Amino acid sequence: MSIRLDIRLVPRALLVLLGLAVVAWIAYKGSQDSRVFWIVTLNGLTLAALFFVVSAGFTLIFGLMRVVNMAHGSLYLLAGYIAFTLQGNWYGVSSNLLSGIPATVTSWIVPLIIATIVIGVAGVLMQQVFLRWNQGQDLRQALITIAISVILADQMVAHFGGIAESIQQPAAWPDSVTLFGVRYGFFRLEVVVGAALLIGALLFLVIKRTRFGMIIRAGVDDRSMVSALGVNIQLVFAGAFFVGALLAGLAGVLGGTMIAVQPGNDSAFLLDSLIVVIIGGMGSLLGAAIGSVALGLVSAYADVYLKFGTTDLTNYAILLTFILVVAVLAVRPLGLFGRPA
């Protein structure tokens, strides 16, 4: 019996070994201090939840229309600014401890809903005005959305300034909850993760169980055939763009409450969405979920566990994201769940 070694298996085997080594290292470091381990893990998972909400919209739009919406991050940031401004102007909420009014559930929810819907409508407008007439020219559409994102980024600096702001969470909500023996931020853990799970479940049900979802799945496979069967595909496109932008808007408000609203977040979250869908595969919801968890956990662990004895490599944490992308692309050029167009 001869053993045949396929040369292409060598990089895969190396990757598996690398993955095992990483898991073993995290397990070893985690067992030394379980409190830190749980906090870091929760950091990674809550971040992953936010990534999922952003990238679900990104991947939905791409999956159906093959449009890479490079203005997705701008929509995310704009939603944060709209909600922040509404909270301040309508309810007088501010983070100023002396003169500010703390937020109530209403003064958090109402700006959230309005900002989310405004961004959804803005997304549809963008699609109708700039993208509808050049369907199929995916690079040109990407360039158009890049141009829009450049203009939006500059205008947001002009109108909202360059200082980091943050949307206030309702004062009635607890600051922290206890899980796995550690105290952890209530908003991050319950609200953001809850929203991500809810959205994931909703999208799954809509896409798998409803007529609209059926049309979307059919549209992903063969647009012209769906159109020929009498479905108004343009209406479906507009609907999908609405939902996709809506998710960016929702994530913008959640992220603006959880972290901050500041210039630069647009490109940061665009990049996060890109990495998530490059890992998970463009157009796949499950891929977006897995990609989000992978990116969230890798960046969280790398920030803390990249210390070997006295050698502190945590500054190089970003390289691990790079390695993650490289590792996935080396094995699957279209991402974990990607399919050729």
Residues numbered 12-41 forming contacts with other proteins, rule: CB under 8 A: none
**Residue span binding other proteins (CB under 8 A) among the ranges 151-159, 173-181, 198-206, 242-250:** 151-159
Does 329 engage in binding with other proteins (CB under 8 A)? yes
Q: Which of 139, 178, 211, 311 binds other proteins (CB under 8 A)?
A: 139
Q: Which of 103, 148, 240, 290 binds other proteins (CB under 8 A)?
A: 148
Q: Which of 113, 206, 218, 334 binds other proteins (CB under 8 A)?
A: 334
Distances (CA, A) of 60 to 54, 98, 139, 195, 245: 10, 44, 18, 17, 10
Q: Name beta bridge partners: 93.
A: 101
Q: Which of 47, 282, 294, 306 binds other proteins (CB under 8 A)?
A: 282
Q: Which of 140, 183, 209, 307 binds other proteins (CB under 8 A)?
A: 140
Does 308 engage in binding with other proteins (CB under 8 A)? no
Distance separating alpha carbons of residues 116 and 119, to the nearest angstrom: 5
**Smaller CB distance to other proteins: residue 103 or 144?**
144
**Smaller CB distance to other proteins: residue 28 or 316?**
316
DSSP 336: T
**Smaller CB distance to other proteins: residue 184 or 301?**
301
Element at 308 (helix H, strand E) = strand 307-308
DSSP 201: H
Distances (CA, A) of 115 to 110, 210, 257: 8, 27, 13
Percent helix, strand, coil in the chain, to 5, is 75, 5, 20
Residue 279 has, within 13 A of its CA and on its CB side, a CA count of 25
Give min distance, CB of 133 to other proteins, in A.
Answer: 9
Q: In 3-state terms, what secondary structure has residue 262?
A: coil
Distance separating alpha carbons of residues 108 and 253, to the nearest angstrom: 9
Does 331 engage in binding with other proteins (CB under 8 A)? no
Backbone angles phi, psi at 185, to 5 degrees: -55, 125
**Residue span binding other proteins (CB under 8 A) among the ranges 38-46, 194-202, 221-229, 328-336:** 328-336
**Smaller CB distance to other proteins: residue 40 or 275?**
275
**Smaller CB distance to other proteins: residue 112 or 126?**
126
Does 56 engage in binding with other proteins (CB under 8 A)? no
Distance separating alpha carbons of residues 79 and 256, to the nearest angstrom: 9
Q: Which of 207, 267, 286, 336 binds other proteins (CB under 8 A)?
A: 267
**Smaller CB distance to other proteins: residue 29 or 72?**
72
Residue 51 contacts residue 254 (beta carbons within 8 Å)? no
Q: Dihedral sign, CA of 109, 115, 118, 124?
A: negative
Nearest to 41 by CA among 253, 298, 314, 289: 298
Residue 72 contacts residue 57 (beta carbons within 8 Å)? yes
Q: Which of 1, 3, 98, 158 binds other proteins (CB under 8 A)?
A: 158
Does 77 engage in binding with other proteins (CB under 8 A)? no
**Residue span binding other proteins (CB under 8 A) among the ranges 105-113, 216-224, 268-276, 289-297:** 268-276
User: What is the size of the binding site for other proteins (CB under 8 A)?
Assistant: 39
Q: Spell out the alpha helix ranges (H) of the chain.
A: 9-32, 34-65, 72-91, 105-126, 138-160, 186, 193-209, 211-221, 223-228, 233-258, 265-280, 285-305, 317-331
Does 274 engage in binding with other proteins (CB under 8 A)? yes
**Residue span binding other proteins (CB under 8 A) among the ranges 43-51, 103-111, 247-255, 274-282:** 274-282
Distance separating alpha carbons of residues 110 and 88, to the nearest angstrom: 12
Positions touching other proteins (CB under 8 A) are: 66, 68, 130, 138-140, 142-144, 146-148, 150-151, 153-155, 158-159, 267, 271, 274-275, 277-278, 282, 315-319, 321-322, 325-326, 329-330, 333-334
